[in-house]
Amino acid sequence: MANLQNGLQSCPTRIDGAPVLFAHKVSAGQCQDRQRGQYHKCFTCAYNNLYVAKHGRPLPTRVVQKPSPLAMKVG
């Protein structure tokens, strides 16, 4: 999903919503560059140009940072 704060999108974002083992954040330009290079994960991705033309872009999400359960207040 695209992030509202920085516009980056998770690569890949599976069409079926399944979690992926390895994902990272890319800009829209990087995404287009990878698609032109026929990146092997693009065809099952919700940011694939063919999929977006038919269904629209995935909705952006807001990242909510939760406090770490390991964080301790010292002092």
Interface residue list for ligand SF4 (CB under 6 A):
9, 11-12, 26, 31, 34-35, 39, 41-42, 45, 47-48
Measured from the CB atom, the residue of 37 and 67 that comes closer to ligand SF4 is: 37
Least CB distance to ligand SF4 at residue 17 (A): 14
CA distance 11 to 59: 14
Least CB distance to ligand SF4 at residue 42 (A): 3
CA distance 63 to 4: 8
Measured from the CB atom, the residue of 39 and 55 that comes closer to ligand SF4 is: 39
CA distance 38 to 50: 13
Least CB distance to ligand SF4 at residue 35 (A): 5
Whether the CA torsion 34, 65, 68, 18 is positive or negative: it is negative
